[in-house]
Amino acid sequence: MPRVVRFHQLGGPENLRIEEEAQQQPSKGEVRLKVQAVGLNRAESMFYHGQYLEEPKLPGRLGYEAAGVVEAVGDGVDASWIGKKAAVVPSFSMNQYTTLGEEAVVPAAALGEYPANLSPAQASAIWMQYLTAYGALVPLGGVKAGDFVSITAASSSVGLAAIEIARDAGATTIAVTRTSAKRAELLALGAHHVIASEEEDYVKRVMEISGGVGARLTFDPVAGPFLETLASGAARDGIIFEYGALSSQPTPFPLFQALGRALSVRGYTLLEFSQNPAILEPAKKYVFDRLADGRFVPKIARTFAFDDVVAAYQYLESNQQIGKVVITVP
């Protein structure tokens, strides 16, 4: 029987268990994927801690992303998918579908083919990060040459994707990280500038970099009190995208900065457009083309074996990584 990862109570990664279950058959509109690799995300950590957008139904399962081979399809699904390599686009609730197991049943609409130049591990590390950054920066933010783009939690997989997307548009990227420990690697991975927010004056540095203009786009998954600082470093008519809630503290609205700069603070998640085929398909093409020609290269921080799932999520929560944490599946 295929093995899956479950948790029976809320809390840390030590609660994760590998268990067997009967093989699932895909229903109408679904496919079954033989999983080769799973990319881990902060959303899953927040989910099993009970801190995500929705409460998990116990016993819970995990996984938004995976790469593998389609081995069965349900009614209404094109049979030509069988035998194809594909990666899963996060476009569903983890209370309904998950990917962290030796097999995964997911909606056929959540499949995305990936370029042949990527390994399964790399393919499991593309859709969440690139589509999340794309949705905010390109269709909503309209990133363009001459923009200054501030990217917090810049060493995360989504942060690195945002750096690549902003650079591709000709914008100047400002990577924000807590300390200088990751500065050299962030610069090597494409950031034009790095600000260590616990060691430097963020607002002063942003204004120096931008010639006093400020960041037109700010892409932030942390929230909390630092939002007021980000707002002080924003340009007039700037947009701050809040796409996460990693801070454990309340998030005050920066009223005076917003009034003084005609500033927009916008809540955003990938799911607001990944569930809409009309806008998802051009987004997938945008990412696919840039992965295929080498403009985008997913950064894998570290891989873990499936049996080491607890250690993998502990590493994810340690904040040591630069890029994606991936579990490989035998």
Specify the pLDDT at position 275. Answer: 82
Q: Where in the chain is the domain with CATH 3.40.50.720?
A: 129-271
Q: Write out the residue limits of the CATH 3.90.180.10 domain(s) in the chain.
A: 3-126+298-328
User: Is the pLDDT higher at 330 or at 101?
Assistant: 101
CATH architecture entry for 3-126+298-328: Alpha-Beta Complex (3.90)
CATH number assigned to the domain covering 129-271: 3.40.50.720
The counts of H helices and E strands in the chain are 11, 16
**Are 114 and 291 within 8 A, CB to CB?**
yes
Give the pLDDT confidence score for residue 271 in this predicted structure. 85
C-beta of residue 241 within 8 angstroms of C-beta of residue 136:
yes
Q: Using the predicted structure, report yes or no on whether residue 206 has a pLDDT greater than 90.
A: yes
Measured in degrees and rounded to the nearest 5, phi and psi for residue 204 equal -60, -45
Question: Structure pTM?
Answer: 0.92
| Structure confidence at residue 179 (pLDDT) | 94
- Pairing of β 264-267 and β 234-242: parallel
Average pLDDT over residues 287-305: 96
Nearest alpha-carbon partner for 154 in 214, 194, 198: 194
Residues 227-252 have a mean pLDDT of 94
Residue 318: burial class (beta carbons within 10 Å; 0-12, 13-18, 19+): exposed
